[in-house]
Amino acid sequence: MSKAKQNKLEDVSAAILANHVCPELAAQAMNLVMGDGNADADIVFIGEAPGKNEDEQGLPFVGASGKFLNDMLASAGLERSDVYITNIVKYRPPNNRDPSPQEKQAFWPYLAEQLEIIQPKVIVTLGRHSMEFFLPSARISEQHGQAVRVTIQHPDGKGREWLVVPLYHPAAALYNGSLRQTLIDDSMQVVSALNKY
Ligand code: URA
């Protein structure tokens, strides 16, 4: 792994702490959950916010959803160490409530910085909260598994072009078994999007 990129990602964590981002969430959380995987990855997965297990371990997607995310990766011939996994919001919201628009906005500069450092070829959004950032008018039921090239305004005011593949959240498959196969099939689309890049 590129040491330079890893060091820069560590600077982003330090900036979140130094800037006291979302102090109410921070006060109730055990850990800042920045990300896991490979800073040189071509694919970045972006979820919503850490849950209980993630908060305890300081790593994203290590609970039940994470187990299924690992299965999705395996079906696409990938391991966690091949990709980078993060969330929009980096602290666990109390009782796993949805992150608020203000919390998502507060963390956006840091997520944008993670993307600037990693420079992924493909961004995979997991669930509605993450998709809304990149494809605000898309409907997940119509767009899932399909790659779209979008220009997103970053906090410096400049547009960046990203190739985005929106997926349902892995937790959706835990509640709705019929989405399991959809998520597996869509994970393979992620690799196709990368191969066509
Ligand atoms: N759900 C998410 O969106 N992110 C995690 O890290 C865990 C569960």
User: Given its phi and psi angles, is residue 37 left (phi above 0), alpha (psi -120 to 50 degrees) or beta?
Assistant: left
Q: What is the CATH number of the domain that holds 187?
A: 3.40.470.10
pLDDT in tens, 88-115: 999 999 999 999 999 999 999 999 999 9
How many folded domains does the chain comprise? 1
The answer, as to whether pTM is greater than 0.85, is: yes
Tell me the CA–centroid distance for residue 5 and ligand 1, in Å. 23
pLDDT at 141: 96
Q: Is 55 in the pocket of ligand 1 (CB under 6 A)?
A: no
Q: Is 125 in the pocket of ligand 1 (CB under 6 A)?
A: no
Instruction: Give the integer Cα–Cα distance in Å for 186 and 24.
Output: 36
Average pLDDT over residues 19-36: 98
Q: Is 54 in the pocket of ligand 1 (CB under 6 A)?
A: yes
pLDDT at 58: 98
Average pLDDT over residues 174-190: 96
pLDDT level of residue 197 (50, 70, 90 thresholds): confident
pLDDT at 20: 98
Q: Which domain holds residue 99?
A: 3-196
Q: Is 170 in the pocket of ligand 1 (CB under 6 A)?
A: no
Q: Is 114 in the pocket of ligand 1 (CB under 6 A)?
A: no
- Is residue 178 helix, strand or coil? helix
Tell me the CA–centroid distance for residue 18 and ligand 1, in Å. 24
Tell me the CA–centroid distance for residue 4 and ligand 1, in Å. 27
pLDDT at 1: 58
Instruction: Give the integer Cα–Cα distance in Å for 40 and 163.
Output: 17
Instruction: Give the integer Cα–Cα distance in Å for 119 and 124.
Output: 13
Q: Which helix (H) or strand (E) holds 109?
A: helix 101-118
pLDDT at 3: 81
Q: Is 93 in the pocket of ligand 1 (CB under 6 A)?
A: no
Angle between helices 64-75 and 178-196 (to 10 degrees): 50
Tell me the CA–centroid distance for residue 156 and ligand 1, in Å. 27
- Is residue 147 helix, strand or coil? coil
Tell me the CA–centroid distance for residue 173 and ligand 1, in Å. 13
